[in-house]
Amino acid sequence: MKFISNYKMSFLFFISGILCLIAYNIKGSSIDENGFLVESFGFIPIFWLFELMASLTFAFTFIKLKKKSAKVKAREELFLTDNFALRFAMQLLASN
C-alpha cells in the first residue's frame, strides 16, 4: 500500500488511460451507410496522453524519493560518525 501512496498520481494517470482504452473498445466502431468509419477516435490519443503522464510522474517521483532516501542515509551516517567520535572522546575523558 505504501507503493500506491507514494505513486498515487502515476497510478491515477495509469488507471485513467486504461479506462479510456476500455471505453474505446466498449464503444466500438462501425461503418455507416456512406462507407465512413464511425468510431470514438478521441479515446486513443487521450489514452496515450494519460500513459505518458503516468510514466513522467512515476519517473519524477522515483528520482525524488531516491534523492530523499540518499539524504536521510547521509544524515544517518553523519550522526553515527559523530556519535562514535563523541563516545570515543567520552571514553578518553573517563579513562583519565
pLDDT in tens, 36-93: 988 888 999 999 999 999 999 999 999 998 988 887 777 766 666 666 666 777 777 7
18 pLDDT higher than 80: yes
**CA nearest neighbour of 48 among 76, 20, 73:** 20
Tell me what pLDDT residue 71 has.
Answer: 78
DSSP character at residue 34? T
Angle at 59 between CA 63 and CA 61, to 5 degrees: 55
Average pLDDT for 22-43 = 90
Tell me what pLDDT residue 17 has.
Answer: 96
12 pLDDT higher than 90: yes
* Helix (H) and strand (E) counts in the chain: 3, 2
User: Is there a contact between 6 and 26 (Cβ–Cβ < 8 Å)?
Assistant: no
